[in-house]
Amino acid sequence: MLNPNILDDIARRISELVAASPAGDIEKNARALLASLFARLDLVTREEFEVQREVLARARERLGVMEARLEELEARLRSDEQD
């Protein structure tokens, strides 16, 4: 996975180049190029990642509850079969 600091460093360096250059379109073109590159990498935002992590945590919790309930029902069924 790419280090977020590297991306910040790249953006900072591009901004510095634009500030030192009379060509104002360089920043616009560089941003468009980077946005296109990142779109092809299928990156997700931190917010999207955190949302999915919470969804997974809730799903795991519900699965644990359902597994415990299933074990309880199976034990009850075995108990009823023995009687």
- Whether 1 has a pLDDT exceeding 60, the answer reads no
Enter the pTM of the model: 0.49
Q: In the prediction, which pLDDT does 51 show?
A: 97
pLDDT digits (tens, 9 = 90+) for 11-65: 888 777 766 666 667 777 888 888 888 778 877 889 999 999 999 999 999 999 9
Calculate the alpha carbon distances from 46 to 43, 61, 81 in Å: 10, 22, 52
For residue 3, give the amino acid letter: N
The three-class DSSP label of residue 39 is helix
Q: Is residue 63 within 8 Å of 69, Cβ to Cβ?
A: no
